[in-house]
Structure 1
Amino acid sequence: MISTQDKNEYNDFLKKLAKERAFVFNINSSFSDEKIVGISFCLNGAETFYLPIDKKSLAKLKPIFENRKIEKWGHDLKQSIKLLAQNGINVQSITFDTAIASYLLNPGARNYNLETLASTKLQKDFPLPEKNASSEDLLEYSRQSAMIIWQLKEALLPELEEVNLLKLFKEIELPLLPVLAEIENNGVKINSAILNNASKKVTIILDELAKKIYKMAGEEFNLDSPIQLRKILFEKLGIKTQGLSKGKTGVSTSAGDLQKLKKAHPIAGEMLQYRELAKLNSTYLEALPKLIDKKTGRIHADFNQIVTSTGRLSSSNPNLQNIPTKGEFGKVIREAFIAPAGTKILAADYAHIELRIIASLADDEEMIRAFKNGEDIHSQTASKIWGIDLKDVTPEIRRAAKTINFGVTYGMGAKGLAESAEISITEAREFIQKYFEVYEGVSNFLRETREKAYDLGYVETIFGRKRYLPEIFSPIPMVKAEAERMAINMPIQGTAADIIKMAMIKIHRDLPKVSPRSKIILQVHDELVFEVPEKDLEKVAKLVKDTMEKIIKLKVPIIAEIKVGNSWGELKKQLKV
């Protein structure tokens, strides 16, 4: 351990660190307030050091961490970047993250912690310290962690090169790290009063729904108990169970199965509404105000880079990518995500990005023509499949066509399409057949993608991101069919994820030059949300739109729709830039 009290020893270490070509660092933080208490370093793959941290030592480390000539390596570095940024240190030249490298090599793994990777990649036993471990044991574990990270880097780099993932790693995933760290540090401002008022209204509605359901059932029961609901539906009310799913405990009362029962008895529809509102209330209206940081007045969610197998980002603590978009209270929740005084919320959303990607990947002439002509792809599909003029496409027919567009291109079969579009299985089969006649290129692409998955055991995006599919060789038909759907889904969804990541990286780099006070506050799959000073709206809108639309060239135009408002739920004005 380097002593901060011994000035000679401390300064000698800093001089040594500053001369290194590269080093591993691993931050230790306190559980209570996430303050940096120490940093372990590994140099040359041979020497490890532990440096206790205070404000003075961080100030002396700042020029080293910000030196672009020194490469920094680590494991799952986003949190470290955040903590250092909170202390005024903008880490430069992060050139390796062992967690991200492991994720790219095996995107279906359950976790990428050091203990697991040490075992699988280095054949080393590296258990976590016991809960009551001594400070000496914890210090030694931290130092050894830095050494393990160095060794993992040496093992993982050639693996990335061997499977052609190094370019994706260096040009997309690593540059995204500081972007996500900054988004998390930025947070999003919340008006808790809006949520509290909505929660009171929902509670009243839930009470009324409960009384209505009890009256239909002829007795009171626990509405949150599937077992009690099952007894009411199938024993007391005698509703037939034909066509419903069955689990270990009996007939399912899931949302999908209750949907099937709506015509059989009105209690099913009331239960669906009750569950939806109860979940909305507990997950968002009641929970979000409790998650507001007292210091910043904002919610600081996590955006996870190494979770989904397709390359998409996910969100947690809380999940801000799953905020409802429909219904009265879904809109209210988004209205609680507000812009501070003097600023506006600006949202940029890719329009039909996944369909544009499949049109390009499939080289489908009809779909490419529709996008190039600026036609509404769902209305166009409806017109072709139903054999009607565009002017005769009703909102209902367009909705069904939208379901077909997204469903069929993701491997949805006739049964799934029938349920989603609320049509018969016979009609669904006919529509799928007509769809592939209209979009012959898409049909060929889906077939070829499945064949590639069988030949190679994996599928990939335009940028080389891979998803391995061992399940496609399963003797179990359901497992095999699901793997085929994954094979179709991943190249499309994964490419969309890569495209928006590339746009985020470039916008993050260029935004301070255009509007220093603007910030990215959310990423929701195909949408980026910003907080922008009112005076900079047009400049930022132009930068964001141009970047998102020109970040890659497909065979069809890429369109980013820009909207602004005082809150995320009031994006009424669409800027023309």
Structure 2
Amino acid sequence: MNKTYALDTETGPYPMAPGDIGAWALEPYRPEFYVKMLGIAGPDGYGKTIHMSGDNFDNDFETEIEFLSGHEVVCHNAIFDIAVCMRKLGLDHPAIAGIKWRDTSLLAKWLNNSQDSERFRYSLRNCVEKWLPDSNEKEEFLAIKDNIQDDYSYWLTRVVKDCNLTLELHEILANLLPAPQWQGYIIECKCLYPLAKGWMTGIEVDPDVVYEARITYQAKANKILRDLNIKEPVLRSPVKLGKLLFEEWGLEPISHTATGKPSTCADDLKMIGARSEDPRILKLLEAKQALTVISKYVNGFDKSIAYLNDTRIHPNPRLFNGYTGRMSYSSKLMKKFQVGIALHQLPRKAKLIKHALIAPAGSKFLYMDFAAQELRIMAQFSHDKNMLDAFNAGKDLHAVMTESIYGTSYETIVAGNTDGIPEIVDQRNCGKLTNLSSMYRIGAKSLQAKFFTQYDKLINLREATHFLNSYKKAFRGIPAYWQSAINIAKHTGYATSLSNRQFKLKATDWKGESSAINFPIQGSGADLSELAIALISERFPEMTFLIQVHDSLTWQIPDDMNPLTVKIFIDNISWNKYFQTELKINFPLDFAYGESLGNLEAL
């Protein structure tokens, strides 16, 4: 019979690193890291602790993990504890893979996700104070957290309390979580092991490409700055940039900051450039973007390599990090030690940054991208017949939208876009941008601004109004969905995704209504991505999950593995099996394969 146990580890060195130069005790991939103690709590008062000072610590550690294999094991922030076990026993130790890992921080989020809790930090301390106010061990636990001591007695007491309270917390939360949410929570927990393995593996960075990126983007910025006769510090200072634009160049601001100063944000600069037709503005924006790539990504790579003393970076993965359930990555530990870059924000246009992320010798990257994921989810939730029919017939939805806007026949649009006829390509781009911009309630002025700020496409207000009206006419089910989602949220008090992840709404003002509309779509995107990670990891243990960016998943696979095997597996997944609602649409993924993220070939 499977039983539920709690596990916690204590790690070193402590202090985190000599002279406060790092967070080594939080970095299980680092050579200086070590495990000082393992604690386990279980049913009927079961408890076990082992310490590094013991004669058989390594063997005892392995024995305890093997004992837990096949059972449900709950941790608080489980990715870290799983990674610790991997550091001790190896990445592919079968006992670690055999444990049914659970996480009380995730369970708390599934229960507590709401407008009221958006700023709540799900530390064990905060969760104990919120859900175990009357626990017999609470006061001693809090006192231990407040008075850290680096001795055997302290760490022994701490690991025991952490295990006992994690187990007690799990029992409370598990009884509170509604039954329809359990399957989604369990699927998310199945991502814990592959994310821990990917975090430990790290992502190889090519320093030569990083250097090339620095030279390329700096040279681009320098040329523009020289042509404009301005200095780089001007672009880095809103005050100096404002003085240049609005005093020296005599341009009119679009908006003002909260302090009343003319805004120099990128969107305003683009609009100023369009209105004034001053070519200097677009050049200035290009220089700013080049410098941003350097400061955010190139410098991020260099700082990570220097801090880690390794060309493998280890950004910290975070499941259910936003209210929609989307995953993200932290580029810094303790907000100051650079261990990677924000992978979930990889720039689409700065290709050299993606070229810098390379597969190590003996492996390749397998890249998977959900095809039109949010549009397909919208079709599912809105039940819009035209959208469902188009997807299920394999049609180009952007061409369908273009036909509605311009009256050009669908066949002409598809053929003209394939042949590169400029007028048709431009029309289809407008259809595409309308589809991508109009799902979540948007007005004509906002659509006009979005076309320009996000897609560099200038349209007038009359065109924006026509595009929106054409969208609502082509897909009448979507405005109906907006109202339905709001009504459901008002009635139930929450919005829900395909896996029954919930977001509880305190207020149904405009912001609350927008969350009621957005959450089912974006939350379901998180559900689908996690399900794919869980299924692929289970079926292909030789693969290592590395990165999620937007709707894409990137894996490291052995050279001798046929990537088409994975594609065939994914193409034959019955998504209906995993959700408690009938799916009216499939969710295909596009595949690519290559030696770096910037050099992938479609499969």
Quick check: TM above 0.5?
A: yes
- Report what 2:185 is aligned to: 169
- C-alpha distance after superposition, 1:249-269 (max 9, x if no partner): 522211111111113233432
* 1:409–1:488 CA contact under 8 A, matched in 2: no
Corresponding position: 1:22 with 2:4:
yes
After TM superposition, give the deviation of residue 539 of structure 1 in Å: 4.5
- Report what 1:230 is aligned to: 242
After TM superposition, give the deviation of residue 137 of structure 1 in Å: 4.2
Greater shift after overlay, 252-261 or 527-536?
Answer: 527-536
- C-alpha distance after superposition, 1:108-145 (max 9, x if no partner): 34310012112221225626745764534454333322
- Report what 1:558 is aligned to: 587
What amino acid maps onto 2:282 in structure 1?
G
Change (3 A) 1:416 1:38: same
* 2:35–2:88 CA contact under 8 A, matched in 1: no
Give me the identity figure in percent.
24
- Report what 1:195 is aligned to: 210
Query: In the aligned structure 1, how far is the partner of 2:60 from the partner of 2:533?
Result: 31
Query: In the aligned structure 2, how far is the partner of 1:286 from the partner of 1:134?
Result: 35
- Report what 2:492 is aligned to: 456
Query: In the aligned structure 2, how far is the partner of 1:174 from the partner of 1:50?
Result: 25
- Matched residue SS, 1:536: coil
Query: In the aligned structure 2, how far is the partner of 1:250 from the partner of 1:128?
Result: 49
Query: In the aligned structure 2, how far is the partner of 1:72 from the partner of 1:412?
Result: 45
Give the counterpart of 2:223 among 201, 208, 214.
208
- C-alpha distance after superposition, 1:415-453 (max 9, x if no partner): 221112232233323322221111112221122012212
Change (3 A) 1:220 1:538: closer
Q: How does 1:116-195 map to 2 (within 5 A)?
A: 116-123=126-133, 124=138, 126=142, 129-130=145-146, 133=149, 135=151, 136-161=153-178, 164-170=180-186, 172-195=187-210
- Report what 2:394 is aligned to: 374
* 1:25–1:72 CA contact under 8 A, matched in 2: yes
After TM superposition, give the deviation of residue 24 of structure 1 in Å: 1.8
- Report what 2:123 is aligned to: 113
What amino acid maps onto 2:185 in structure 1?
F
Query: In the aligned structure 1, how far is the partner of 2:525 from the partner of 2:503?
Result: 15
- Matched residue SS, 1:411: coil
After TM superposition, give the deviation of residue 549 of structure 1 in Å: 7.2
Gaps of 5+ in 1: 1-18, 473-479
Give the counterpart of 1:283 among 296, 299, 303.
296
Q: How does 1:156-555 map to 2 (within 5 A)?
A: 156-161=173-178, 164-170=180-186, 172-214=187-229, 222-241=234-253, 243-248=254-259, 250-263=261-274, 264=276, 265-292=278-305, 297-317=311-331, 318-326=341-349, 330-390=350-410, 391-392=412-413, 394-421=424-451, 422-472=458-508, 480-512=509-541, 516=542, 518-543=543-568, 545-546=570-571, 554-555=583-584
Query: In the aligned structure 1, how far is the partner of 2:82 from the partner of 2:156?
Result: 21
Change (3 A) 1:541 1:167: closer
- Report what 2:51 is aligned to: 52
After TM superposition, give the deviation of residue 463 of structure 1 in Å: 1.3
- Matched residue SS, 1:262: helix
Query: In the aligned structure 1, how far is the partner of 2:364 from the partner of 2:233?
Result: 47
- Report what 1:6 is aligned to: none
Query: In the aligned structure 2, how far is the partner of 1:372 from the partner of 1:94?
Result: 37
Change (3 A) 1:43 1:566: closer
- C-alpha distance after superposition, 1:56-93 (max 9, x if no partner): 32322324323435432221111110110122254343
Greater shift after overlay, 283-292 or 100-109?
Answer: 283-292
TM-score, structure 1 as length reference: 0.86
Greater shift after overlay, 364-373 or 394-403?
Answer: 394-403
Change (3 A) 1:309 1:128: farther
After TM superposition, give the deviation of residue 194 of structure 1 in Å: 0.9
- Matched residue SS, 1:246: coil
- C-alpha distance after superposition, 1:456-507 (max 9, x if no partner): 22100121011122242xxxxxxx3233222211111111211121111111
Query: In the aligned structure 2, how far is the partner of 1:527 from the partner of 1:370?
Result: 23
TM-score, structure 2 as length reference: 0.82
- Matched residue SS, 2:554: strand
What amino acid maps onto 1:554 in structure 2?
L
- C-alpha distance after superposition, 1:274-307 (max 9, x if no partner): 2211110122123214424868742222221131
C-alpha root-mean-square deviation of aligned residues, in Å? 2.7
Query: In the aligned structure 2, how far is the partner of 1:20 from the partner of 1:533?
Result: 34
Query: In the aligned structure 2, how far is the partner of 1:533 from the partner of 1:210?
Result: 45
What amino acid maps onto 2:480 in structure 1?
N
Q: How does 1:35-114 map to 2 (within 5 A)?
A: 35-44=34-43, 50-53=49-52, 56-66=56-66, 67-88=68-89, 89=93, 90-91=95-96, 92-94=98-100, 96-107=102-113, 108-114=118-124
Gaps of 5+ in 2: 17-23, 25-31, 332-340, 418-423, 452-457
Change (3 A) 1:71 1:557: closer
* 2:207–2:311 CA contact under 8 A, matched in 1: no
- Matched residue SS, 2:600: coil
* 1:73–1:95 CA contact under 8 A, matched in 2: yes
- Report what 1:15 is aligned to: none
Change (3 A) 1:41 1:267: same
* 2:2–2:70 CA contact under 8 A, matched in 1: no
Query: In the aligned structure 2, how far is the partner of 1:45 from the partner of 1:526?
Result: 44
What amino acid maps onto 2:445 in structure 1?
K
Query: In the aligned structure 2, how far is the partner of 1:274 from the partner of 1:158?
Result: 55
* 1:507–1:547 CA contact under 8 A, matched in 2: no
* 1:68–1:93 CA contact under 8 A, matched in 2: yes
After TM superposition, give the deviation of residue 104 of structure 1 in Å: 1.0
